[in-house]
Structures are given as structure tokens and as C-alpha cells.
Amino acid sequence: MGLSVPDNMDTSSACELIREGISSIVDGVRGLERLTLYVYGGAAQKGLLSVTIASTDSKLYIRSGLGVAASRLLAEKMPSKIKEVTFGRHVSAADRRSVLEEVGAGREVGLVTVGEQYGALDGWRSDSFPSIRGVAIVLSVPDGLEASAAAERIRDGISSIVSDVRGLERLTVDAYSGAGQQRSSSVTIASTDSELHIYSALGVTVGRLLAEKMPSKVKEVMFEPTVSPEGRRSVLEGLGVEREVGTVRLTGPSVSLTEGALDGWQSDNFPSIGHVRIGEAYTMDVEVPNNLEASAAAELIHGGISSIVGGVRGLKCLTLRVRGSNAADAAIRQLLRTEVFAHFTIDTRERRWRWGRNFRWSSYAIELTATRRS
């Protein structure tokens, strides 16, 4: 159901109209199991509020001041368990708090989502909040803010949410920064599948500060190739020897073999890492430059594999995707076929895939897998 609020109607009157209308439908329609209402307003009739009242998946989506006011009035009509409450980027921290306080301590919310804004980490402390199982935040970092200040703000905000939100099981914060608001980091803190994704230099700073907040077992740490070997090392050292990481992935745009993808993988302060994966199908390969001799490329790859399998504590498997000339591929295969790595078996496979309309485009790479012998 869609409701268009006249441009000249004041907020309080519109909110009363919405509340009374929903009350009438909920109380008066026999056999009703689900009610969804979309509210539009203003000169351009933009979306202001969306509410779904149902037995299992009730939701609130608040995009405006009118949506905030209406949601506060509608809280009494919501069931004891609400699937999701979403706040748009224009809803302030104070308004967000007021809505959640009206929902009240007697209710449980599965997920609270906050749209892209710098204040998304504020306003999470209240004894009147419902129990909240999950929080997902998109954080917009101002372009002029120094990396250290931004990282400290993210760390402190996450610390506050983790300690103050009752019933929290999972927190995800995606941070965007710079003039173009490019993704810099993503962190998920949860009991079983915590993840840390690093996309930029700011993300490295954030990752180092957040390491102390990560649980003892981390499912995945991901780096884009634009993150330097030193940046990768600093984040992993921040996690420390007492933690265990399931997989560390290097993925994103393809990079040259000479740009450091195989560097920076040795440190006595790294956590235990089960799987290192460098490259992904359809997205990233480590490319052998055309001007690099095949034998030199093979030696670089051999040295990189040796460094990783010999230096990463707890490693069970290393996967590396390489793309180069036929001569380079042959040299790599030959060198690795004759080399024996202590406790590891090397498997070299050719990988081809197609994509695009009618699968017209194809690509080729070799996938090297080093697996610890049982």
C-alpha cells in the first residue's frame, strides 16, 4: 500500500493520520497476517517511510524526519520481534536513538542498518533500547580527516557499540573515504565468522587499531593488491600470534608479478593462518610481465612460494593464480615439478573460463596449490 502525504500537511498531522490508519487496518481487518505501507511526501514525493507489520518479518525503513516521528508513534503497533530497522543517511544519531527507545527494551530487533553518514557510530548507548542481534553500518569518512583520527574514531565507535548494545551477536562496519568515497575497510565482528577487509592505506590504519577487538578466531582477512606488502604485514602483526585466521586473501584488480604480491608474508608476530589465497577466478591474477624472462619469472614465483610455505605459521594450503606467456607457464611448471618443498605437495593446474554474452570472451591462468602433507 502506498500513501502520498500532501506537501502542505504538517508533520504531526501526517504522523497521526498514518498511526490511526495503520491501527484501523490492523485492528479491523479479519485474518490479516501482513501489512506493508510505503509513505511518500514533499514536492518530489520522495520515500519517507516504509513499515511492514507481520508475525515473523516486521520491518521499519526510515528516511526522513517525518519517518522518524511516524515510527515513534508506530512503535506500539510493532510485534515483540522485529526483523529489521533501517535508517537512511539523512536520519541523525539523535533521531535514530529516539526511534529505538520507543521500540523499547521489551522488544528484540534482528538487524539495525544505518545508511552512509559520518555520525553512524554515534548514539548507540541507551538502557531503553531493544535487544539488537545485528548492526550493519556504512560510515562516510570526511575527505579532509586525517587517517589516524578517522581510524581512532572508527575504533572507539566500534568499541562503544560492542560494549553498549544489548544482545549484539554481529557487527559490520563498511568505511568509505576520500573525495570519491571509495571503500577503505570493512570489518565484521561476530562469534563464528569475523572478517577484516582492507582496501586502502586508511584501511590499513583502521585494521591495525581494530585488531585488538577481533576474537581469537577470525574467519578471513582480505587485502586488495593496492595495499602494500608492508601494510599487509602491519595488519597481520596487529592481529598477533595469539589469534587464528582461517584464510588470508589477496584479491582485486590483477597485478604484476613484480608489484609485491608475493612479498611481506614472513613475520614471527603473525597469527596462525590456515590458507593463503593469492588471486581469484574472474577478478585477479598475478601477471607475468612480457619483458620478464620466463626463467626469472619462475624463480620469483618459486621464491615467493618458498617464503610463504616456510614462513606462515599453521599454513595448510597456499593457492596462487598466475597468468603469463606460454614460455613463462612452461618454465614455472618445470621448476615446481622438480622442486620438493618440505611437508608440502605442489599441484599445478590449467584454469580456463568464459564470460560475457554467449561466452565469447575467455581467459587462461595456471593455478598453483601447495598443500601440507598429512
Per-residue pLDDT of the chain (374 residues; tens, 9 = 90+): 888 888 788 888 888 888 888 888 888 888 888 999 898 887 667 888 999 998 888 999 999 888 999 999 888 888 999 999 999 999 999 999 999 999 999 999 999 999 888 889 999 999 999 999 999 999 999 888 888 999 999 999 999 999 999 999 999 999 998 777 788 999 999 988 999 999 998 999 999 999 888 999 999 999 998 899 999 999 999 999 999 999 999 998 888 999 999 999 999 999 999 999 998 876 788 898 888 898 898 889 888 998 898 889 999 999 999 888 888 888 888 877 655 566 788 888 876 655 455 544 445 678 888 888 87
Model pLDDT, residue 313 = 93
> Is 258 inside any structural domain?
yes
Residue 91 and residue 126: Cα distance in Å, rounded? 18
- Domain range enclosing 284: 245-374
Segment 207-223, tens digit of pLDDT: 999 988 899 999 999 99
User: What is the chain's alpha carbon radius of gyration, rounded to the nearest angstrom?
Assistant: 26
Model pLDDT, residue 290 = 87
Closest CA to 115 of 54, 176, 201: 176
Residue 77 and residue 287: Cα distance in Å, rounded? 59
Model pLDDT, residue 284 = 83
> Is 287 inside any structural domain?
yes
> Is 263 inside any structural domain?
yes
Model pLDDT, residue 3 = 83
> Is 102 inside any structural domain?
no
Residue 218 and residue 50: Cα distance in Å, rounded? 36
Count of structural domains, the chain: 1
Model pLDDT, residue 359 = 45
Contact present, 71 and 45 (Cβ < 8 Å): no
Contact present, 69 and 91 (Cβ < 8 Å): no
Contact present, 351 and 367 (Cβ < 8 Å): yes
Task: Name the grid cell of 285.
Answer: 591474477
Task: Name the grid cell of 77.
Answer: 503497533
> Is 333 inside any structural domain?
yes
> Is 204 inside any structural domain?
no
Model pLDDT, residue 302 = 87
Contact present, 282 and 355 (Cβ < 8 Å): yes
Which own/partner contact pairs does 17-23 have at CB distance under 8 Å and 24+ positions apart? 18/49, 18/70, 18/73, 18/74, 19/70, 19/73, 19/74, 19/77, 22/51, 22/53, 22/74, 22/77, 23/77
End-to-end CA distance of the chain: 61
> Is 336 inside any structural domain?
yes
Q: Which residues pair with 19 in a beta bridge?
A: none
The full 3-state SS of 136-201, as one line of letters, equals EEEEECCCCCCHHHHHHHHHHHHHHHHHHCCCCCEEEEEEEECCCCEEEEEEEEECCCCEEEECCH
Q: What is the pTM of this model?
A: 0.87
> Is 328 inside any structural domain?
yes
Burial of 50 by CB count in 10 Å (0-12 exposed, 13-18 middle, 19+ buried)?
middle
Model pLDDT, residue 233 = 95
Closest CA to 185 of 150, 135, 213: 150
